[in-house]
């Protein structure tokens, strides 16, 4: 059993695991195996290297690359030196990467092999970066990561407080410039201890557990899930990036027992014909979240994977999951609770806020607010944005529209900003999407509001058809009208090959809306 009292900071996690199970495997990555003893030593070397480079507590380093075990050495090693880790989403364009690295004032940039050319092209735009380290070597003039790491002499680290910031994750930036959410040691670890103390069945870990880290580490779903496995002493299998074939390989070959996926990733895996033939006998739980999931997709996943499912609700600013729908609330025939995100985890409080700031009673839709030890320390260098998000009493406004039922289950409708107002009626896209998705020919769908002379906005569905299907607009509208109110039914349907999504699986609705609102002085929604 893990001694949670001994893991107060991120540095304590690797120290503790190296002491209690030094020879156990911490990571496997593309043929490389690292024990917990070696992982702890590597993090000590990283911390010493940063100190030797002149970085003081509170300084930042950045990582631009895909998933690897070496990233987790940086993530867990930097905080031992009081340095903050800033992973950068590798899917971003060059100017966006440059903005984040410069905004964070990163002194050292660690770069994966796929992005050597990009980093080189941005060099003149990163005046605060004094060193670029090549994670897999081979770039003239740049230190190779393993050589840099192994050349260090381990030195005594500075004192580290649980309130010190350890990780800075940038929000997706779908509306305006990205903001750096500052996550302290306390934010990242306290919820894990309280969950373990509550002995939630789906959150119990043992020495045989194998965790798959397949979601991108630039998001809390990747880095947070990796930390979960390390905290609980599991063997962590790292996928360089999400690929349905390799995910299935890992599950079967490495005997994965737990993994986290966003719904879009789950859908991709289920569309692979091989998914029906893989041995899932070791798979205990799939945790999923980061975006709504249609009930039909969830039922399909339950049928194929035959394991426990746990829905997670949270955000970067809450270090990930703060609400969970446990396996016992997942039933194949469906239930009202399967449309919920679940109930608050131990130590988490949820309330629904109306437009006037008052708390709303059950079943009234408003903005979801969260009070938790996992709530971020704030946005980096953005005190006004922090104050708008977290009030004086510590309540964090999520920007999500939803309601509570009498039993405390949280129902998420959509992002507040994505709400459609048609003829004075509020329409939440997720509700419409759930209805459309059930159509047998629909593979994926996003719902947006488009300008309408009569109603202000009209509901439009953007649909991806399953291969070989030939559904028409009338079929989909008729199907939807049978399942939701008429004013929520799409008035038009467009077909597209694939929906634009960010790395965490969230639909980029702004990209879908822009063509329809071009030339308008304002956007009603």
What pLDDT is attached to residue 204?
92
**Residue 508's Cα: distance from chain center in Å?**
15
φ, ψ for residue 403, nearest 5 deg: -150, 165
**Which residues share a beta bridge with 35?**
25
What pLDDT is attached to residue 176?
55
- CA dist 488 and 191 (Å) reads 38
Q: What is the mean pLDDT of residues 321-339?
A: 88
Q: What are the residues whose beta carbons fall under 8 Å from the beta carbon of 155, sequence distance 6 or more?
A: 48, 51, 52
Taken in order of first residue, the domains within the chain and their CATH numbers are 4-19+35-191 (3.40.50.12780), 344-415 (2.30.38.10), 419-517 (3.30.300.30)
Q: Six-digit token pair at 477?
A: 């509208």
Q: Six-digit token pair at 137?
A: 């070597």
Q: What is the mean pLDDT of residues 133-152?
A: 96
- CA dist 73 and 14 (Å) reads 10
Residue with tokens 């009626």: 425
What pLDDT is attached to residue 280?
95
**Which residues share a beta bridge with 134?**
111, 144
Instruction: Tell me the pLDDT band of 524, cut-offs 50, 70 and 90.
Output: very low
Q: What are the residues whose beta carbons fall under 8 Å from the beta carbon of 107, sequence distance 6 or more?
A: 53, 54, 55, 59, 60, 61, 128, 129, 130, 131
For residue 421, pLDDT over 80 is answered with: no
Residue with tokens 């190296």: 18
Q: Could you give the C-alpha distances from 433 to 42, 159, 304, 438, 506, in angstroms and in order?
A: 46, 50, 22, 9, 13
What pLDDT is attached to residue 521?
42
For residue 198, pLDDT over 50 is answered with: yes
- CA dist 409 and 384 (Å) reads 31
Nearest to 505 by CA among 261, 305, 295, 335: 261
User: What number of CA atoms fall less than 13 Å from residue 117's CA on the CB side?
Assistant: 2
Indicate the average pLDDT of the chain: 91
What pLDDT is attached to residue 523?
45
Q: What is the mean pLDDT of residues 77-99?
A: 93
Q: Six-digit token pair at 27?
A: 């990571």
What pLDDT is attached to residue 518?
83
What pLDDT is attached to residue 415?
65
- CA dist 473 and 477 (Å) reads 6
Instruction: Tell me the pLDDT band of 423, cut-offs 50, 70 and 90.
Output: low
Instruction: Tell me the pLDDT band of 174, cut-offs 50, 70 and 90.
Output: very low
Lowest mean pLDDT among 229-243, 272-286, 421-435: 421-435
Residue with tokens 């129902």: 411
**Which residues share a beta bridge with 366?**
402
Neighbour-count burial for 362-394, b at 16+ CB within 10 Å, e otherwise: eeebbbbbbbbbbbbbbbbebeeebeebbeeee
Residue with tokens 């809390």: 220
- CA dist 213 and 223 (Å) reads 8
Q: What is the reported pTM?
A: 0.85
For residue 408, pLDDT over 80 is answered with: yes
- CA dist 149 and 432 (Å) reads 52
């Amino acid at each position: 059993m893990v001694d949670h009292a001994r893991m107060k900071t991120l540095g304590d996690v690797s120290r503790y695991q190296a002491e209690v199970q030094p020879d156990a495997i911490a990571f496997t990555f593309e043929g490389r195996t690292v024990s917990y003893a070696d992982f702890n030593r590597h993090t000590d070397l990283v911390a010493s290297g940063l100190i030797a480079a002149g970085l003081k507590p509170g300084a930042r380093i950045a990582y631009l690359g895909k998933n690897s075990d070496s990233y987790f050495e940086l993530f867990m090693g930097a905080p031992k030196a009081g340095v903050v880790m800033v992973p950068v989403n590798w899917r971003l364009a060059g100017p966006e990467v440059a903005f984040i690295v410069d905004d964070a004032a990163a002194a050292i940039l660690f770069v994966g092999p796929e992005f050597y050319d990009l980093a080189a092209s941005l060099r003149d735009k990163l005046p605060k970066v004094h060193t670029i380290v090549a994670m897999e070597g081979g770039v003239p003039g740049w230190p190779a990561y393993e050589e840099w790491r192994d050349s260090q002499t381990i030195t005594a680290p500075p004192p580290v407080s649980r309130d010190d910031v350890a990780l800075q994750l940038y929000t997706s930036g779908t509306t305006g410039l990205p903001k750096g959410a500052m996550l302290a040691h306390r934010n990242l670890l306290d919820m894990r201890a309280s969950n373990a103390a509550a002995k939630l069945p789906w959150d119990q870990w043992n020495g045989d557990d194998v965790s798959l880290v397949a979601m991108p580490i630039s998001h809390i779903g990747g880095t947070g899930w990796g930390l979960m496995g390390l905290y609980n002493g599991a063997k962590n299998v790292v996928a360089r990036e999400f690929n349905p074939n390799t995910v299935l390989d890992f599950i079967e070959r490495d005997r994965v027992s737990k993994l986290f996926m966003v719904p879009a990733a789950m859908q991709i895996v289920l569309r692979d014909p091989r998914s029906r033939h893989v041995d899932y006998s070791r798979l205990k739980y799939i945790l999923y979240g980061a975006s709504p999931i249609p009930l039909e997709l969830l039922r399909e996943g339950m049928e194929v994977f035959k394991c426990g499912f746990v829905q997670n609700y949270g955000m970067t600013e809450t270090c990930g999951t703060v609400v969970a729908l446990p396996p016992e609330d997942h039933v194949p025939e469906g239930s009202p609770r399967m449309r919920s995100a679940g109930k608050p985890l131990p130590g988490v409080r949820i309330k629904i806020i109306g437009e006037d700031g008052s708390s709303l009673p059950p079943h009234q839709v408003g903005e979801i607010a969260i009070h938790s030890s996992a709530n971020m320390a704030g946005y980096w260098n953005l005190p006004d944005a922090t104050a708008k998000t977290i009030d004086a009493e510590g309540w964090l406004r999520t920007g999500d529209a939803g309601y509570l039922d009498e039993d405390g289950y949280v129902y998420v409708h959509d992002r507040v900003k994505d709400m459609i107002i048609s003829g004075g009626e509020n329409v939440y896209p997720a509700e419409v999407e759930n209805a459309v998705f059930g159509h047998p020919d629909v593979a994926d769908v996003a719902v947006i509001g488009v300008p309408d002379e009569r109603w202000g906005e009209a509901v439009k569905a953007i649909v991806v058809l399953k291969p070989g299907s030939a559904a028409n607009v009338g079929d989909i509208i008729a199907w939807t009208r049978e399942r939701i109110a008429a004013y929520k039914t799409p008035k038009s349907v467009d077909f597209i090959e694939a929906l634009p999504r960010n790395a965490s699986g969230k639909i980029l609705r702004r990209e879908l809306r822009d063509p329809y609102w071009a030339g308008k002085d304002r956007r009603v929604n």
